[in-house]
Structure 1
Amino acid sequence: MASNPTVSELRKASYVTDQEIDAAVDAVLADLATESYPLTKGWTLDLVETLRTNTRAAEALTTDKAAWKRNMVRTAILLAHPVMG
Structure 2
Amino acid sequence: MASNSTVSELRKTSDVTDDEITAAVDAVLADLASEAYPLAKGWTLDLVAAIANHKASQDALLTDREPYKRNMVRTAILLAHPVKG
TM above 0.5, one fold? yes
The structure-2 alpha-carbon separation of the partners of 1:11 and 1:62, relative to structure 1 and needing over 3 Å to count, comes to same
Given that residues 3 and 83 in structure 2 are in contact (C-alpha distance below 8 angstroms), is that contact kept between their aligned partners in structure 1?
A: no
Measured after TM superposition, the shift of residue 2 of structure 1 is 4.8
Describe how 1:28-39 pairs up with structure 2 within 5 A: 28-39=28-39
1:83 is matched with 83
Structure 1: gaps of 5 or more residues: none
Q: Which moved more, 1:1-10 or 1:35-44?
A: 1-10
C-alpha separation in 2, matches of 1:31 and 1:20: 16
The structure-2 alpha-carbon separation of the partners of 1:28 and 1:3, relative to structure 1 and needing over 3 Å to count, comes to closer
C-alpha separation in 1, matches of 2:2 and 2:83: 12
User: Secondary structure of the residue that 1:62 maps to in structure 2?
Assistant: coil
Moved over 6 A (4+): none
C-alpha separation in 1, matches of 2:39 and 2:47: 10
Aligned length in residues:
85
User: Secondary structure of the residue that 2:56 maps to in structure 1?
Assistant: helix
Name the TM-score, length of structure 1 as normaliser.
0.96
C-alpha separation in 2, matches of 1:81 and 1:35: 13
Describe how 1:40-59 pairs up with structure 2 within 5 A: 40-59=40-59
Given that residues 6 and 81 in structure 2 are in contact (C-alpha distance below 8 angstroms), is that contact kept between their aligned partners in structure 1?
A: yes
C-alpha separation in 2, matches of 1:61 and 1:84: 28
Q: Percent of counterpart pairs with the same letter?
A: 71
2:15 is matched with 15
Given that residues 6 and 80 in structure 2 are in contact (C-alpha distance below 8 angstroms), is that contact kept between their aligned partners in structure 1?
A: yes
